[in-house]
Structure 1
Amino acid sequence: MTAIETKEELAKEFSGIKYILTSGMRSRLLLAVYENPKNLDELRKELRKPSATILHGLKELETINLIRKVQKYYELTSNGFLLTTNMVKLIENWYALNKNKLYWNSHDLTGIPDKFLKEIYLLKNAEYVTSTTSDLSNAFNTYIKFISNAKTLKIILPIYSENHFKHLIKLLNDNKLKKLELIVSEEILDSIKENDLFKRELINNNKVKIRCVKKRLKIFLTYSDDFMSLTLFFKDGHYDDSQILIAEDKNALKWAENLLRNFARR
């Protein structure tokens, strides 16, 4: 498919999506029957609209094969289910971005593959932690608190930070951290090798596995069985250690785990 054909196809799809999203009633009806079929009385109670308004919206959605009536109940067709699923993702993406808009707007997102940017909604429950003028180390200290309770850690590490390495080594030596996996660039790995302490405690440590990638890394991602955290660079290329996203829910952990696998395959 050529770029022109792709744009034409997108234009056609957009007109269909626009038809749904520009109508509050059509959108709400799709969402109302997304998980379970409902009859007219149930829809009227949930949407708090008169029967005539609801029936008009249902008729429009039936005409374009998004909803069908089975006996007295209205349910999504296969097309309706696919469209509504993506509509839910769009709404959740919007919520996740808007919830932490200061974080997303001020950072370079080019280090996150497009596939995972489209799934930002999985981070909708992430907590935004920032340092302040009265507590410049708040974000870092919060991060250390989380990794100190982890048994295993997998980290995409885009920076050479002696402070981070020393904390990880202490956790390993205290036997709190049982397994550590690092994904670093060639430049970072070379710097680790030049430091005798880090070379001995990290490279020559049976608990540690280091994967090296050729491409420069632009995200600092940490994943364990219990939490994930994400730190990014400013748009001018400087690393930002003052702001961090931390989440503990299963959706965020799934997002982080899949992203780590993506980088590990490089």
Structure 2
Amino acid sequence: MNGFGIYREMGDGIQAIYRSRLLTEILLSLNEGSRKLSQLREITGSTSKVIIPKLRKLEADHLIEMKGREYFLTPAGKIVALGVADSFITFWTINKFKHFWLRHYLEGIPDPLLKEIGCLYESEILKDKGMKVLNVYNNQLKIIKEADHIYGISSVVTGGYADSISERVKEGIPVELIVSLHVAEELKQSPYLEKIEALKDYENFKLMVMGQDIKVGLIVTNKRLSLSLYKKGNVEYDISTGLFSSDSKAIEWGERFFDIVKGR
């Protein structure tokens, strides 16, 4: 059964949660820890008379249980609450950065990571604007300079990137790079070929070539994430706009991204 069929089959139960502010707030609150009735009143801004019927419904659905004077999520309730929380975080992330998503080609992001796009909610969009002509580029170089390890997926190559990576490799920083076919062809030419040759004996440096073009640019380190995409239409790589984050969930998302592409 597909998602639509499941919704039709149990739509009332699903709608009851999303339609009711109180049910949603109770689940989200208990997802963070147990709560007394007085705490739920304070969190929701509602009276006991209004809250108690909602608690009874969640108990009847075996999503919450009461121990002593506190309410807890059941194991099934925890799964539901996590799903509700994830859906709101996903919608919020899409809405927060809607212009970034609408203007860029998203098909280069693997499907499993599109489903986890909410991990990027604590991010910011940086742009080249006014006097900050190289704002995105300079921030990416700063990420490379401050990293203790570097994983990268590259759709472009510049002298600045190459020099920064070379310097970090020679300092002993572990670096793994995946490049697209057209970037690999550029790396065969001077001055990049000489830079690659100078790094061939460094065991902390790995350079991998994807058997097809990669429509993303990714830098993920122990401290930061940078994500760049192609502009809508899948023709031009956008070097003037990027998503940046120092949030641990975003960094983990970037590491999973790199591992998926590396596995290919």
TM-score by length of 1: 0.88
CA pair 183-13 structure 1, distance change in 2 beyond 3 A: farther
Give how far 1:203 is off.
5.0
Q: Is 1:200 matched with 2:191?
A: no
CA pair 87-62 structure 1, distance change in 2 beyond 3 A: same
Q: Is 1:265 matched with 2:260?
A: no
Aligned-residue sequence identity (percent) comes to 25
Contact 2:152–2:178 under 8 Å retained in 1: yes
Contact 2:127–2:136 under 8 Å retained in 1: yes
Residue of structure 2 in register with 1:249 after alignment: 247
Supply the AA of the counterpart residue of 1:226: K
CA pair 34-6 structure 1, distance change in 2 beyond 3 A: closer
Q: SS of the counterpart of 1:159?
A: coil
Moved over 6 A (4+): none
CA pair 130-71 structure 1, distance change in 2 beyond 3 A: same
Q: SS of the counterpart of 1:148?
A: helix
Give how far 1:10 is off.
4.4
Aligned pair count reads: 260
Give how far 1:76 is off.
1.4
Residue of structure 2 in register with 1:145 after alignment: 142
- C-alpha distance in 2 between matches for 1:177 and 1:186: 27
Residue of structure 2 in register with 1:98 after alignment: 95
Q: SS of the counterpart of 1:75?
A: strand
Deviations 1:222-244 (A, max 9, x none): 01122111011111121101111
CA pair 5-88 structure 1, distance change in 2 beyond 3 A: closer
Supply the AA of the counterpart residue of 2:190: D
**In the alignment, which of 183, 191, 195 is matched to residue 188 of structure 1?**
183
Q: SS of the counterpart of 1:216?
A: coil
- C-alpha distance in 2 between matches for 1:264 and 1:223: 13
Give the gaps of 5 or more residues in structure 1. none
* 1:53-132 equivalence runs, <5 A: 53-132=50-129
- C-alpha distance in 2 between matches for 1:227 and 1:164: 16
CA pair 243-43 structure 1, distance change in 2 beyond 3 A: same
Pairwise CA RMSD: 2.2
Supply the AA of the counterpart residue of 2:248: K
- Per mean C-alpha deviation after superposition, the further-off stretch among 8-17 and 51-60 is 8-17
Contact 1:150–1:177 under 8 Å retained in 2: no
